[in-house]
Amino acid sequence: MPSCRPLRAGWGSRMDQHTVLTGIGISGGIGIGRVVVLPEFDFDTSKQKADPEEASRFLNAVAALSAAIGQKQETAGAEQAEILESHMMLLGDPSISAEAQRIIEAENCNSEYAVDQVFETYAALFLASGDELFAARAADLRDIKNNLLLILDGKALFDVESLPPGSVLVAREVTTTVAAGINPDNVCALVTREGGATSHTAIIARSLGLPGVAGVSRIEAGSQVIVDGNRGKVILNPTSKVLETYRGLQEEQKARKQTLEAYRGLESVTTDGKSMVLFANIGLVTDIAHAVAADAEGIGLFRTEFLYMNRSTAPSEEEQFTAYKQVATAFAEKPVIVRTLDVGGDKEIAYLGIEKEENPFLGWRAIRFCLERQGLFHTQLRAILRASAFGRVKIMLPMISCASELKRAKALIEEVKRELSAGGILLNQQIEVGIMIETPAAVLMVDYFAQEADFFSIGTNDLTQYIMAVDRGNQNVAQLCSVYQPAMLRAIYQVAQAANRHGIECGICGEAGADPLLTRFFIGCGVHELSMTSNAILGIRERVRSGRYEVAKERVAAGIHTLRDVEQAAAFLQSI
């Protein structure tokens, strides 16, 4: 195994004989152990003249990586094997492989250059979206790229499976390949130099239930550390007194986790009988197991765009039908809300031919794109409607901003229904069609939309960015992009109240759904459903069951129009 080099960056404060490094908490919990630093390599991907057998060299590297991944699959658990399978599919994607070979032959260049060019092009498209699930796909592509470069350089993949118990894995970023080999019985925490709360490593850490801190560096291999994912701190060489304190906190958190297990299988209902349904968000069929294990009461957001990614052509009707049916069947009579294709703008898929736009968030995206590319939309609607015969599937239309969009989309759905029925294909003729409320226009037109849609789902991520006129990926204005902004809280209240007036359900499917500070606010607004990352469900259920609906309703109604700033709003939310 090649030697590793220490990570770089500044130190934190000194406390007695130990050092405290401050970063960003990306996954809650406390881990205590010894540092293992993931090796890093500087690859030379500059363009050079090809060797006589360059094409074979590239194909041999692909075959070697496929074999290595295959070996890992044999010993991996079911969930980790599925992750590795997605890498096998990406590695075997003919469009990616063919493009690399084309560059090698057309430009008479080395494999390293071709691999870097192709994988970086695809990864950049996904990373530009700012969406955590799309960013995860970009990380997968770069992971494969680096593994290919390792093999081309004659090096072996990192053997994370053999790490001893009590290992704290430190890296620039934890890749999917490494993550698939992590045994939580041996690895007790993750620390990275890069990333944040929605980074690929954060997703991995939370899915494995490991404490994680990002934005921290200069940690030597072998050091004893405490990783505090709750406070975003890493303590180097802790004193015996500090160790004793944190071991006590560990025990408290284990007890807390065990306490939450008491909420498994219970209804999400307030003390005075008001129900709140807790759903999970998913992006891939492989996420189903997480949602089921987390005791989700259904799927509040199936991001179907992932079915269209990492490939050179759109998925067929049969491919989509199989995926939608699998989710519907897994949840039987529980609702599964399928969002129709949400691409364009910041979510680019090369083969769809969407031109570069100056203002992609305000451009040709989501329902606007689908209504103009009706062949693509028609295929997806057929697949969703066919799957509706196997469970409580609902259709959700994204980015609705005017009446004509909803009217045209509903007309297409009715057309596809008639077509399927004429062919003798089973479907739910009464399938519910709802819309995402994620534009200011939809908020202002909410009473009209409540008469035309079967349900609402508030996409708090996009709605915050549009209401506050803030690019959520721009760090210079990030402080403005908060769901705690009074304007956002008023918008949510207005939408939920309109839904209740017209007798339709209103849900939350943005990141705010997993925020316990907002739970009772949502209850008081009259929100019916919250959809969130799977591992947040039991904690939010506890929060729901410990509050009173009538109290929350009165406090929200009395205070919602008095708020002037985020600080005042935070105090208001605490008081509900």
DSSP symbol at 4: P
**C-alpha to C-alpha distance for 414 and 427, rounded to whole angstroms:** 12
Is 109 a catalytic site residue? no
> Are residues 220 and 5 in contact, defined by beta-carbon separation less than 8 angstroms?
no
Range 185-191 contact pairs with CB under 8 angstroms and sequence separation of 24 or more: 187/160, 187/163, 188/31, 188/32, 188/33, 188/227, 189/29, 189/30, 189/31, 189/32, 189/33, 189/213, 189/225, 189/227, 189/229, 190/27, 190/227, 191/23, 191/35, 191/216, 191/219, 191/225, 191/227, 191/234
Give the residue carrying structure tokens 């309703």: 553
> Are residues 226 and 235 in contact, defined by beta-carbon separation less than 8 angstroms?
yes
**C-alpha to C-alpha distance for 560 and 569, rounded to whole angstroms:** 9
Helix (H) or strand (E) holding 451: helix 446-452
Q: Rounded to whole angstroms, what are the CA distances from 471 to 173, 436, 474, 525? A: 25, 19, 5, 27
Give the residue carrying structure tokens 């077509």: 419
Among residues 87, 109, 188, 200, the one annotated as catalytic is 200
Is 509 a catalytic site residue? yes
**C-alpha to C-alpha distance for 292 and 285, rounded to whole angstroms:** 12
Helix (H) or strand (E) holding 107: helix 94-107
Parallel, antiparallel or unpaired: strands 335-339 and 167-171: unpaired
Sorted by sequence, the CB contacts under 8 Å of residue 297 that are 6+ apart come out as 268, 277, 278, 279, 334
Among residues 109, 481, 509, 525, the one annotated as catalytic is 509
For residue 492 the two structure tokens come to 């949510």
| Separation of first and last alpha carbons in the chain | 55
For residue 131 the two structure tokens come to 């969406």
Among the listed residues 94, 87, 47, 93, the one whose alpha carbon sits nearest the alpha carbon of residue 69 = 87
Catalytic residues: 200, 509
